C-alpha cells in the first residue's frame, strides 16, 4: 500500500490519542508520513501533503476538517477523518470510521463516498456558516478557551453573545427568492438539517446539492426571549432550502464577521453562497 499522509492539528485537545492509530497502522504494515502544523500553518501543510499523497488523513475538530476540505475539493485526493476533535459532527453524521480498526478496513476495502461541500466568497465549509449571534459567541468561546476548559467556556460566551450581538438588515436573493429580513441569527448549511433544528444537527443527505437557510424571525435576542423562542422553535425560525446560489446583501455593511464550521472570519459583502456538488471524496464505513 502506498504511503499515507496524516495531518494533525497540533492544538487539538485529543492529539495524544493519535498513538493508537499509528500503532495499528504499523501492525498492518501501512506506511505513513505525519505533519503536525500549528493552526496558522494548517492550510499550507495540507497543501503540501495533498501534493504528495493520494490518501490523506486529518485529525482535529470540525475546523480542521473544513481546512482539509478547502484544499482537497475537486481533486483526486481521498480524505479520511481521524475523530480527534471534541465535536466531530461531520464524522458522526456521515458514519465515518471512528476507530483505528474501522479506518484500516475502510482503506483496505477502498470504501469511499462523494459528498457536496458549500462555499461563501471562495471559502469552503462542510457544515454551516452563520451571521449574527453565533459568530459573536464563537469569538468569545475562542477567547475563553485560552484560559479554561472548553465546556466551561460556553456559559460566559453565551452570556456575552446575548448581550453584545447585533441584528442585521439583510436581503436574501436568487432567481427564485427575494426576501428582506431583520435578524440576529442567519445560518446557511451544506444540505438540509432535520426539522428538529436547532436542537438536532443531523443531516440525512449530503449529496442533494442544496443549501439550507435558517433565520430567527424576531430581530435581536434577549436572554428570556432566547430561552422562550428556542423552546418554541417552530414559531421562532424560518427554514428554507435552495438548490440555486444565494446572494446575501447586508445593508450598511461593507464587511461582516461570519462563522464557517465554528471558526470566525471577516468577509466583504455581498456574500455569495453556493453548493459544490460531489466535490469531496471521503473514506467511509458504508459499503
Q: State the CATH number of the domain containing residue 264.
A: 2.60.200.40
Query: Are residues 271 and 131 located together in one domain of the fold?
Result: yes
HSE value, Cβ hemisphere, 13 Å, CA-based, for 7: 32
284 located within any domain? no
- Is 117 within a domain? no
Residues 167 and 71 in one domain: no
20 in any annotated domain: yes
The CA radius of gyration of the chain, in Å to the nearest whole number, is 19
29 and 144 fall within a common domain: no
Q: What is the mean pLDDT of residues 84-88?
A: 62
Q: What is the CATH number of the domain that holds 55?
A: 3.40.50.10330
How much is the pLDDT for 4?
Answer: 95
Helix (H, G, I), strand (E, B) or coil at 106: helix
Residue 133 lies in a domain: yes
In a domain, 116, yes or no: no
**Domain region containing 28:** 4-110
Which residue among 76, 110, 144 closes a domain?
110
DSSP 8-state code for residue 245: -
Is 285 contained in some domain?
A: no
Q: What was the pLDDT predicted at 67?
A: 92
Which of 83, 110, 137 terminates a domain? The answer is: 110
Residue of 54 and 235 predicted with greater confidence: 54
Regarding whether 167 and 268 lie in a shared domain, the answer is yes
Q: How confident is the model at residue 197 (pLDDT cuts 50, 70, 90)?
A: very low
53 and 86 together in one domain: yes
Position of cell 455593511? 253
Would you say residue 280 lies in a domain?
no
- Lowest pLDDT segment from 51-60, 129-138, 158-167: 158-167
Local structure of residue 99 (DSSP, 8 states): S
- Looking at the chain, the whole-number percentage of residues with pLDDT higher than 70 is 76
Residue 74 lies in a domain: yes
CA 26 vs CA 29, 99, 147, 207: distances in Å: 5, 15, 37, 34
Cβ atoms 129, 273 nearer than 8 A:
yes
Same domain, residue pair 181 and 92 = no
Beta-bridge mates of residue 265: 258
The SS3 of residue 250 is: strand
Same domain, 239 and 187: yes
pTM: 0.85
Grid cell of 47 as nine digits: 497543501
Model confidence pLDDT, tens digit, residues 7-52: 998 777 666 678 889 999 999 999 999 999 988 899 999 999 999 9
User: Do 100 and 158 belong together in one domain?
Assistant: no
State the pLDDT at residue 201: 59
pLDDT at 102: 94
Q: How far apart are CA 24 and CA 103, in angstroms?
A: 10
Q: How many domains does the chain have?
A: 2
Q: State whether 144 and 92 are in the same domain.
A: no
Q: Do residue 99 and residue 235 come from a single domain?
A: no
Between residues 190 and 141, the one the model is more confident about: 190
One domain for residues 93 and 135 = no
Kindly tell me if the per-residue pLDDT of 88 is higher than 80. no
Residue ending a domain, among 110, 143, 161, is 110
Quote the pLDDT of residue 172.
97
Same domain, 190 and 242: yes
pLDDT for position 60: 78
For the cut 70, the answer to whether the pLDDT of residue 80 exceeds it is yes
Instruction: Check whether 158 has a pLDDT greater than 70.
Output: no
Amino acid at each position: 500500500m502506498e504511503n499515507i499522509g496524516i495531518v494533525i492539528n497540533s492544538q487539538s485537545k485529543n492529539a495524544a490519542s493519535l498513538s493508537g492509530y499509528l500503532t495499528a497502522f504499523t501492525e498492518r504494515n501501512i506506511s505513513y508520513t505525519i505533519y503536525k502544523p500549528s493552526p496558522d500553518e494548517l492550510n499550507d501543510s495540507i497543501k503540501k501533503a495533498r501534493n504528495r499523497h493520494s490518501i490523506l488523513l486529518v485529525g482535529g475538530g470540525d475546523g480542521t476538517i473544513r481546512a482539509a476540505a478547502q484544499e482537497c475539493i475537486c481533486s483526486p485526493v481521498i480524505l479520511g477523518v481521524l475523530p480527534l476533535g471534541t465535536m466531530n459532527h461531520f464524522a458522526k453524521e456521515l458514519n465515518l470510521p471512528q476507530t483505528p480498526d474501522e479506518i484500516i478496513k475502510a482503506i483496505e476495502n477502498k470504501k469511499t463516498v462523494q459528498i457536496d461541500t458549500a462555499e461563501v466568497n471562495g471559502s469552503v465549509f462542510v457544515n454551516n456558516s452563520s451571521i449574527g449571534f453565533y459568530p459573536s459567541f464563537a469569538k468569545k468561546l475562542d477567547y475563553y478557551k485560552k484560559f479554561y476548559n472548553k465546556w466551561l467556556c460556553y456559559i460566559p460566551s453565551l452570556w456575552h453573545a446575548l448581550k453584545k450581538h447585533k441584528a442585521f438588515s439583510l436581503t436574501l436573493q436568487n432567481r427564485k427568492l427575494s426576501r428582506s429580513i431583520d435578524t440576529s441569527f442567519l445560518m446557511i448549511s451544506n444540505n438540509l438539517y432535520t426539522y428538529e433544528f436547532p436542537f438536532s444537527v443531523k443531516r440525512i443527505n449530503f449529496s442533494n446539492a442544496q443549501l439550507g437557510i435558517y433565520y430567527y424571525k424576531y430581530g435581536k435576542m434577549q436572554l428570556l426571549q432566547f430561552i422562550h423562542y428556542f423552546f418554541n422553535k417552530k414559531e421562532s425560525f424560518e427554514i428554507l432550502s435552495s438548490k440555486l446560489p444565494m446572494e446575501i446583501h447586508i445593508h450598511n455593511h461593507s464587511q461582516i464577521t461570519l462563522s464557517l464550521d465554528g471558526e470566525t472570519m471577516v468577509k466583504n459583502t455581498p456574500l455569495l453562497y453556493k453548493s459544490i456538488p460531489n466535490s469531496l471524496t471521503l473514506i467511509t464505513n458504508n459499503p
